[in-house]
Chain A
Amino acid sequence: DAGVIQSPRHEVTEMGQEVTLRCKPISGHNSLFWYRQTMMRGLELLIYFNNNVPIDDSGMPEDRFSAKMPNASFSTLKIQPSEPRDSAVYFCASNDNRMSTEAFFGQGTRLTVV
């Protein structure tokens, strides 16, 4: 398997624009996570899906952030409108929680909002 695939790897956008980050989890995994990494806060869990259903979105910072998982092989994280403080690296991770405890991470999307 190719692992967790995220796109784009880098995104530069202007403040106020909509940004959509994409994730393809490992085939067969039933759990998906979106994390944000910044120097100040480290790694923060934004949202967790199990069997395509959002279970915990308590980490989503505000209404400008939304995430969807329309099927088992695709998820999006959308920021609308984007702000400079959203600049960070966003990671997607997946896991089969029936088989193991560890999560597998994608390579991340580095978002810069100017």
Chain B
Amino acid sequence: GNSVTQMEGPVTLSEEAFLTINCTYTATGYPSLFWYVQYPGEGLQLLLKATKADDKGSNKGFEATYRKETTSFHLEKGSVQVSDSAVYFCALRGSGGSNYKLTFGKGTLLTVNP
């Protein structure tokens, strides 16, 4: 079945540092890939997405590129802010018969210190 593996946290950075959160996936066919963010006490919000190989999703300074050859969708940001402190989830939506189901990674807690 489909699965998502993302780097375990927690990740602690200083403001303006470079962020990478690794995400790899296992899926048949051509899944869509997502990064969701969860701020304390809130639900998940879509951060960015990519629906086909080599697509780059971007939003709020975050980027991730859909790499089919390495089955990866790593999240990056060049300069993090304190307000980026949250839990980040990598997810995929399969193609074919199970294309309704979002499969999530376990989440990575990011803390950005001033």
Contact = CB atoms under 8 A, between A and B. Distances in A.
Contacts of A105: 36, 43-45
Contacts of B43: 4, 91, 105-108
Contacts, number: 47
Contact of A48 (B32, B46, B100, B104): B100
Contact of A102 (B49, B99, B105, B107): B49
A42 B3 CA distance: 13
Contact of A56 (B32, B34, B101): B101
B77 interface: no
Contacts of B107: 42-43
B93 to A, nearest CB: 5
B69 interface: no
B100 A102 contact: no
A101 B106 contact: no
Interface in A55-70: 55-56
B20 interface: no
B88 interface: no
Contacts of A102: 32, 34, 46, 49, 93
A88 interface: no
Contacts of B104: 42-43
B102 A45 contact: yes
B102 A33 contact: yes
Interface string A39-50: 000110100101
B89 interface: yes
Nearest to B93: A101
Q: Which 8 A-B pairs have the closest CB atoms?
A: A105-B43, A43-B104, A105-B44, A101-B32, A42-B106, A107-B43, A102-B46, A108-B43
Interface of A: 4, 31, 33, 42-43, 45, 48, 50, 55-56, 91, 93, 97, 101-108
